[in-house]
Chain A
Amino acid sequence: MSSPSIPIYKSLFDLPREEYFAPGHGLCAGCLVGPIVRILLKVAGPNTIVVTPTGCLEVSTTLYPYTSWRVPWIHVAFENAAAVASGIEAAIKSLQKKSVIDSSRKINVIAIGGDGGTVDIGFQALSGMLERGHRVMYVLYDNEAYMNTGIQRSGATPIMAWTTTTPIGKVLKGKLQTKKPIAEIVAAHRVPYVATANPAYYIDMANKFRKGLLVDGPSFIHVIQPCTTGWRFDPRYGIKISRLATETAMWINWELENNEVFRVTVPVPKRKHVKHYLRAQGRFAHLTDEDINVIQKYVDKEVERINKLVGKEVIGPVVE
């Protein structure tokens, strides 16, 4: 059960043993959504209601008459998880005022959506939920494309990445635009807690879930989720690629508390070149060395910006 008294997790052994995400789901072998949700529900506990918009997680875990969810769960549509979660949270408040639900009981309301359902089609509902200040934790599992419909470009797809709608042709090669900075856009709503997380750093991720559930208001956890099918890598390398994302600073694990305290929770004193991350994935197989250097420059700039924000060098120079 989640309450302010729960300690900060230091190791895997600190996490509850109870499982609320049942095995037997239909996620791809090597898909990292499973471990993300498994840890999320361990942190959240049974006093939790989950909303999932349409996406891989939804279709793979609730094929009637089966379900992988040991907590109350609802799917409504693609673009409205945040609105549905708002309704659930408001209903709990109302029914607690009317003593239908025990008013001392804290019920977590969690929305877990993919990048399409969050940064694109679900963005308006998300923004509305954040602005209204509902006590909902929104977890984005970001696999950087519409994987459920078969790897189409989303607003979260990184520059130059191959998808089926940004194919590698004679004229155009991959996505032309950069990734939408959704966590910062969420932070601009000045909500109590925003963080980015990486399942390769699962204790950091678990503690962020924990913090997100403790704040009195909306929280948003943006989790990178390497997709074996869409990113084109062997299923066994998910965590390895996840870790490379942070080691190369393609993905920086940070948190912002109360719109004031910004910290990088996984400092990277010695950075790896982005080629290690990019060359491990089929979706970047077409990149030339020159292309990779362009991406490296983007990352260098971002690292500089983040270091400035923190006020010291938390992400070091490229050493290998």
Chain B
Amino acid sequence: MDIWERIPLTSNYAAAYAAKDADIDVVAAYPITPQTPVVEKVAEFIANGELNAEMIHVESEHSALSACIGASATGARTFTATSSQGLELMHEMLYIASGMRLPIVMAIAARALSAPINIWCDYSDMFATRDSSWITMIASTAQEVYDSIIQAYKVAENPEVLLPSMVVYDGFIMSHTYEPVNVAKDRAPILEYIPKNYSRPRLDPDNPITFGAIADPNWYYEFKYQQVIAMKNAYEVLSKADEEFGKRFGRSYGFVETYRIDDAETAIVTYGGLYGTVREVVDILREKGAKVGGIKIRVFRPFPHKELVDSVKNVKHLIVLDRAISFGGALEGPMAMEILTTLRLRSIDVDLYNYIVGIGQRSVTELDIINIYYHASKLIEKGVRLTESIYWGVRE
């Protein structure tokens, strides 16, 4: 029995469909480009009676996440979406949502940060949430956005986890591009996968509890350590959730995706929508005889060290394409830094060449990535190891 209906959706709409099919109880969101169509679509679903949820038309993103915190603490399945400055305005609340162990799910159409103001894509906003204790998945297709949001509820609401979760995708490049997506004809099979469960601790007059007490130096550390454990648990829980999703629905993603990696000497690593371009480039370069493959980091938190190590076991060189800058960092590409740390800690000696691309949605074409590959190949030939990131295509 086919439970799916294949329709053209942008990643924004895919996020909204996922929220609808997860039968969310409360949504609180504020418009911001390029995320806005998510909340518009959710509002439409509610207006048409396709979704029975309360929508709180908050006056800021700070209040959006605050209201989600209140709603989630009351037991509701809660959803929001934002981008860029909106995510920055939420920043304080990110830590409180995770510290209170509330399984809120948020869609993020990744966008550059001001100043100068730029409404287009890069991943500066997501990387700024690095230490906020949110489970973080980065999708590469609209289908993956839909599926990941459903998986996000599965993981976030697991009693061994109880952490909020974000699903991130390229602003505009994905958020406004239509792709064919399988969405559930009826939400029942989805809800069998993520049943509604109101048994977690919540604000209930029949069982009064105090949320958000003050923890002095004698207690605070233990609260934070419990989050460490929860995030560790999320690794296993997400892995199983993805596996079960695959069994039920025929689609699964793993933590790291690879493309033609088996005999590859060099792997091009990236995340988000750019992975599609990387795969095209791998095919083009393979035709020219290059031993190259592609790697996509799908899960950023918890960081997929096992899967990453496994995917690079035969690889000698990594080209990491980063779409954000960690100004003044040991390496200025934030994902490259994570990868390097993972590999060095396990004494895996793979050369890593970090290229910064697509900042503020500067175009990254197939030709750019091909040229990056040849640029890195020359360095590899000469035996040059880089100690800094390369700013590809910038006018210095």
Binding site for B on A (CB under 8 A): 46-49, 51, 58-59, 62-65, 67, 69-77, 79-80, 82-88, 90-95, 97-98, 100, 107, 124-125, 127-128, 131-132
Contact = CB atoms under 8 A, between A and B. Distances in A.
B3 interface: no
Contacts of A85: 70
Contact of A58 (B62, B209, B214): B214
Interface string B68-100: 111111111010000000000000110010001
Given A86-B63, A97-B52, A100-B75, A76 B214 contact: no
B70 A91 contact: yes
B210 A83 contact: no
Contacts of A132: 56-57
B140 interface: no
A275 B78 CA distance: 54
A47 B54 contact: no
A75 B211 contact: yes
A74 B62 contact: no
A84 B69 contact: yes
Nearest to A52: B212
Contacts of B78: 87, 91
Contact of B210 (A46, A69, A82, A86): A69
A277 B108 CA distance: 55
A62 B203 contact: no
A77 B56 contact: no
A95 B66 CA distance: 18
Given A69-B210, A80-B93, A90-B26, A74 B73 contact: yes
B383 interface: no
B300 to A, nearest CB: 25
A72 B203 contact: yes
Given A91-B54, A94-B54, A95-B74, 14 more contacts: A46-B205, A47-B205, A49-B205, A64-B214, A72-B203, A72-B204, A72-B209, A74-B212, A75-B212, A77-B66, A80-B66, A83-B67, A87-B67, A132-B56
Contacts of A86: 28, 56, 58, 63, 67, 70
Nearest to B210: A67
A58 B210 CA distance: 11
Contacts of B52: 94, 97-98
Given A62-B210, A65-B219, A100-B198, A91 B76 contact: yes
B381 interface: no
Contacts of A98: 25, 52
Contacts of B209: 72-73
A50 B350 CA distance: 55
A87 B70 contact: yes
A2 to B, nearest CB: 12
A75 B96 CA distance: 10
A83 B62 contact: yes
10 contacts: A46-B208, A72-B210, A73-B208, A76-B69, A87-B67, A91-B25, A91-B74, A91-B78, A94-B53, A98-B52
A62 B213 contact: yes
B131 interface: no
Contacts of A124: 59-60, 63
Interface-centre pick from B64, B66, B67 (highest chain A CB count, 10 A):
B67
A80 B63 CA distance: 6
A62 B63 CA distance: 23
B249 to A, nearest CB: 25
Contacts of B396: none
B71 A73 contact: no
B216 A64 contact: yes
A283 B300 CA distance: 54
Contacts of B66: 76-77, 80, 83-84, 87, 125
B25 A94 contact: yes
Contact of A87 (B57, B59, B71, B214): B71
B215 interface: yes
Contacts of A100: 75, 198
B57 A51 contact: no
Nearest to A46: B205
